Amino acid sequence: MDPFAYLDRIGFSGRPSVDLETLRTLHRLHLLSFPYENIDVQLGRFVSTDPAVAFRKLVTDRRGGWCYEMNGLFGAILAALGFQVTGVQATTSPRSGVGTLPHFALVIDLEQPYLVDVGFGDGLLEPLPIKAGVYRQRDKQFGIEAPRPSVWRFNNHPSSSVKGFDFTLSPADPARLAADSRRLQSAPDSPYVQNLVCQRHTRYGVTVLLGRVLCRARAETPDVRTLESTEEFVWALEEEFDLTVPKPAELWAGVCERHALLFPRPQVFTTLPGLRPANG
């Protein structure tokens, strides 16, 4: 992996230093450059947890990814730049009441440990100190608490799709990460198998595609529409998420099929429905 190719891809200028200012800048630029997406899962393509594979996919092929790819790549780049990086396993807390899901995040040690996560969809905008408290980033409020010894809890902003996740500071087990990834991309009850999701941070908010439903959350009243054709679908992927997708017609057919199963009656959406998979 070439860290300078990554820096060029996200538009980082200057010389990176091992400090909080650089970490914050890299975190923000990553979110603005790479969309969170599970397109390969929808196409039945194996998704690796190898950061080198994620580098080729995100940097070379200009795609996005989910937590194992996004945080895996980001952690590898940070380590190459001299940061002290620990990948950690986490367990999410969905707002819908549906069971928990595994997640992969990063801990960066500077003058104190920071939670870093570029793979949580509509989550953190910048690193968060791992210290109990409430923190504000742009117009979002986040929290860190310690619900029990050796366990930390990240509380996502109130309007997010997933409440947050619990994590420890212990290094993740690569074998367990790979097993969790395989299960999430193959199990019939996995939300990543059940529906397409793309999420992209912008300078004005976040844009989300859940199946056929596109939402631009740029104000108090989000702009929500249902895509009606392959052409609209391809337009949304290219224009809203900067993605050129392999086999878009094949992908669209599957999206429509799953949408019909999830929403058997005609819907008029004013808010984004059932958004569960914002991590993974």
Model confidence over 128-150: pLDDT tens digits? 999 999 999 988 899 999 999 99
Spell out the alpha helix ranges (H) of the chain. Answer: 3-10, 20-33, 39-42, 51-55, 67-80, 174-184, 191-194, 230-235, 241, 248-262
Tokens representing residue 146 in the block: 């310690």
**What pLDDT shows up at residue 261?**
80
- Give the whole-angstrom CA distance, residue 134 versus residue 185: 34
Residue 258 predicted with pLDDT over 90: no
Residue 271 predicted with pLDDT over 80: no
The residue behind tokens 């958004």 is: 275
- Rounded to two decimals, the pTM is 0.91
- Give the whole-angstrom CA distance, residue 202 versus residue 196: 20
CB atoms within 10 A of CB 144: 18
Residue 19 predicted with pLDDT over 60: yes
Model confidence over 43-95: pLDDT tens digits? 999 999 999 999 999 999 999 999 999 999 999 999 999 999 999 999 997 66
- Give the whole-angstrom CA distance, residue 116 versus residue 187: 28
Model confidence over 195-245: pLDDT tens digits? 999 999 988 888 999 999 998 876 566 788 899 999 999 999 999 999 987
- Give the whole-angstrom CA distance, residue 220 versus residue 231: 29
Nearest of 161, 20, 193, 25 to residue 94 by alpha carbon: 161
For residue 271, what are the contacts with CB-CB under 8 A and spacing of at least 6?
Answer: 215, 222, 224
For residue 115, what are the contacts with CB-CB under 8 A and spacing of at least 6?
Answer: 105, 106, 107, 124, 127, 128, 129, 130, 144, 152, 154, 167
**What pLDDT shows up at residue 276?**
42
Question: In sequence order, what DSSP letters do the residues of 34-74 get, joined into one string?
Answer: S-EE-HHHHTT------HHHHHIIIIIS---B-HHHHHHHH
Between 271 and 132, where is the model more confident? 132
Domains and CATH numbers, the chain: 3-182 (3.30.2140.20), 188-262 (3.30.1120.150)
**What pLDDT shows up at residue 205?**
85
Q: Rounded to the nearest 5°, which phi and psi values hold at 78?
A: -60, -40
Nearest of 146, 139, 100 to residue 122 by alpha carbon: 139
